[in-house]
A and B are shown apart, each in its own frame.
Chain A
């Protein structure tokens, strides 16, 4: 008798589980509609054509340490395939570092106090705001950047952005006794001087000089740094273009999602309110938001402080705000946040919803707690609070995020 009851209870539990789990046409259609309403478009609509010759030589320049003023770094030092074009570190390690990943962190190189951003989709249509603090931003009046009126282009933000790492102390310029004090200013004149040195170096290279000149249809003598930048930009635009993801396949091409991925997507566009900021085909509104993430490392402003967008605008309403990161291949580009302070996607999601749940101020200094409180206050003051999610729901969202991994155009 007891075994009969147990069997019947087991059957009822199974039937109840099966009857309302899994996908249904209504839920799939609801997710597709929500994604389209949140600005997701077919990926072919955001591509920009590139010149294959520039892409080819740009690939070589991307790997070349010749473009490091007095160091031994290249673009690929911090943008590695192994880490989906990031570097797997909380804060980047630039000049003076050796190796990749943890080895690089332990090698004692110069720390760049922000998390390395991945490059996916950076050259796409509409990608108008670059870097964590939006220091390159296209507006209706042209591109706003550190170059001011000397901006290399008023049309192509990626082209302008590519100019910056080559002149940044700790990224590709070593601050040592050989670097004159005026070059440390990182202003337009010092940048021009560095560009001149790098261009001459390329002109004197018997392979690179003629190759870059040919790709840009100029003579070696007429080469300028803009030709080098254009080649690198073309490579980044092509190599890291987002041509396919499982989620875009689901929305536009009849692709399939698992039950967990579907549930995660419905939460992402529904009660999780992730789509308030993570909109569009690359899942970023490219706007600035304050989030209550802990600061890891020294911080852009020193002593564990990073004022984010304020460093660009000097507007106090921009304190602690950072540009929404796109979520393409996000599952592969940890650690996360502007300072890489989160080591799991689950923790990142919890920090969006319930930042106090894991907070322990007892091990932090008074100054650190003050900064933590300031970020929290800014978040509460400026953002709508999302609904709480269970552990299982958070795992569903993580499963959904894994459908955003960039894949080859042809599966």
Chain B
């Protein structure tokens, strides 16, 4: 009987320990899996939104100097292109809904920059303080 009681206690301890471990590790493992699954697509949208914002900024700057029909048309086109940022925002919100936090999203953005960088120079430009 004492032997049975020891076995039961051991079983309870082991089960409890496994439960704690799973509880501690399951959430990070889930988030890690989401990151791996959606990194490529999120990275692609990050790049597209960045390109769209740059193009729009340049078009607005151009229009402040010159108001030809071509300049006006270019601004309209770049405004429409900002829909890429809408797609980026939607995906980001959905990823957060499924459990990713700003930390993980930031990690995904950094990986996207690194994937698109030609070298350390691009990484530096993303991080350096500018005056």
Binary per-residue interface labels of chain A (1-24) against chain B in the complex, 1 for a CB within 8 Å, 0 otherwise: 000010011001101100110000
Give the contact stretch, choosing among B4-12, B89-97, B102-110, B118-126: B89-97
Q: How far is B97's CA from A12's CA once the two chains are assembled, in angstroms?
A: 10
Q: Assess whether A273 is in contact with B74, with CB atoms less than 8 Å apart.
A: yes
User: Would you call A177 an interface residue if the criterion is a C-beta within 8 Å of the partner chain's C-beta atoms?
Assistant: no
Contacting A at CB under 8 A, from B40-86, are 44, 51-52, 55, 70, 73-74, 76-81, 83-84
Contacts of A16 in B (CB 8 A): 38, 91, 94-95, 98
Contacts of B83 in A (CB 8 A): 27, 30, 266, 270
User: Would you call A34 an interface residue if the criterion is a C-beta within 8 Å of the partner chain's C-beta atoms?
Assistant: yes
Q: How far is B90's CA from A12's CA once the two chains are assembled, in angstroms?
A: 14
Q: How far is B38's CA from A404's CA once the two chains are assembled, in angstroms?
A: 35
Residue ID in chain A nearest B74 by CB atoms: A384
Contacts of A276 in B (CB 8 A): 70, 73-74, 77
Q: Assess whether B37 is in contact with A13, with CB atoms less than 8 Å apart.
A: yes
Q: How far is B78's CA from A332's CA once the two chains are assembled, in angstroms?
A: 30
Q: Assess whether A13 is in contact with B38, with CB atoms less than 8 Å apart.
A: yes
Q: Specify which of B37, B70, B73, B77 is in contact with A9 (CB 8 Å cutoff).
A: B37
Q: Specify which of B38, B55, B80, B95 is in contact with A34 (CB 8 Å cutoff).
A: B80
Q: How far is B44's CA from A266's CA once the two chains are assembled, in angstroms?
A: 18
Q: Assess whether A20 is in contact with B55, with CB atoms less than 8 Å apart.
A: no
Q: Assess whether A5 is in contact with B90, with CB atoms less than 8 Å apart.
A: no
Given A13-B38, A384-B70, A387-B51, are A30 and B80 also a contact pair (CB < 8 Å)?
yes
User: Would you call B34 an interface residue if the criterion is a C-beta within 8 Å of the partner chain's C-beta atoms?
Assistant: yes
User: Would you call A253 an interface residue if the criterion is a C-beta within 8 Å of the partner chain's C-beta atoms?
Assistant: no
Binary per-residue interface labels of chain B (23-41) against chain A in the complex, 1 for a CB within 8 Å, 0 otherwise: 0000001100110011000
Contacts of A38 in B (CB 8 A): 73
| Nearest CB in chain A: distance from B27 CB, A | 12
Q: Specify which of A12, A13, A266, A271 is in contact with B55 (CB 8 Å cutoff).
A: A271
Contacts of A271 in B (CB 8 A): 51-52, 55, 77-78, 80-81, 84
Q: Assess whether A269 is in contact with B80, with CB atoms less than 8 Å apart.
A: yes
Contacts of A30 in B (CB 8 A): 80, 83
Q: Assess whether B77 is in contact with A275, with CB atoms less than 8 Å apart.
A: yes
Q: How far is B77's CA from A276's CA once the two chains are assembled, in angstroms?
A: 9
User: Would you call B87 an interface residue if the criterion is a C-beta within 8 Å of the partner chain's C-beta atoms?
Assistant: yes
Contacts of B87 in A (CB 8 A): 20
Q: How far is B35's CA from A165's CA once the two chains are assembled, in angstroms?
A: 63
| Nearest CB in chain B: distance from A362 CB, A | 25
Residue ID in chain A nearest B73 by CB atoms: A276
User: Would you call A141 an interface residue if the criterion is a C-beta within 8 Å of the partner chain's C-beta atoms?
Assistant: no
Contacting B at CB under 8 A, from A71-130, are none
Given A13-B37, A269-B80, A276-B77, are A387 and B55 also a contact pair (CB < 8 Å)?
yes
Given A9-B37, A20-B91, A271-B80, are A15 and B98 also a contact pair (CB < 8 Å)?
yes
User: Would you call A258 an interface residue if the criterion is a C-beta within 8 Å of the partner chain's C-beta atoms?
Assistant: no
Contacting B at CB under 8 A, from A385-400, are 387-388, 390
Residue ID in chain B nearest A37 by CB atoms: B76
Q: How far is B81's CA from A275's CA once the two chains are assembled, in angstroms?
A: 13
| Nearest CB in chain A: distance from B78 CB, A | 7
Contacts of A19 in B (CB 8 A): 90, 94
Contacts of B38 in A (CB 8 A): 13, 16
Residue ID in chain A nearest B42 by CB atoms: A16
Q: Assess whether B73 is in contact with A275, with CB atoms less than 8 Å apart.
A: yes
Contacting B at CB under 8 A, from A259-301, are 266, 269-271, 273, 275-276
Q: How far is B37's CA from A19's CA once the two chains are assembled, in angstroms?
A: 16
Given A19-B94, A37-B76, A276-B74, are A12 and B81 also a contact pair (CB < 8 Å)?
no
Given A5-B33, A20-B94, are A390 and B80 also a contact pair (CB < 8 Å)?
no
Q: How far is B95's CA from A282's CA once the two chains are assembled, in angstroms?
A: 42
In this complex, which of B37, B83, B91, B95 has the most chain A Cβ atoms within 10 angstroms of its Cβ? Answer: B83
In this complex, which of A27, A37, A271 has the most chain B Cβ atoms within 10 angstroms of its Cβ? Answer: A271
Ordered nearest first, which 10 A-B pairs have the shortest CB separation? A270-B80, A271-B81, A20-B90, A270-B81, A12-B98, A16-B94, A19-B94, A273-B77, A270-B77, A9-B33
Q: List 24 A-B contacts (CB under 8 A).
A: A5-B29, A5-B30, A8-B30, A9-B33, A12-B37, A13-B37, A15-B94, A15-B98, A16-B38, A16-B94, A19-B90, A20-B87, A20-B90, A20-B91, A30-B80, A269-B77, A270-B79, A270-B80, A271-B81, A271-B84, A275-B73, A276-B77, A387-B52, A390-B44
Q: Taking A8-B30, A37-B76 as given, write out 15 further A-B residue pairs in contact, using a Cβ cutoff of 8 Å, ordered by the A residue number.
A: A16-B91, A16-B94, A19-B94, A20-B91, A34-B80, A266-B80, A266-B83, A269-B80, A270-B77, A270-B80, A271-B55, A271-B77, A271-B81, A276-B74, A387-B55
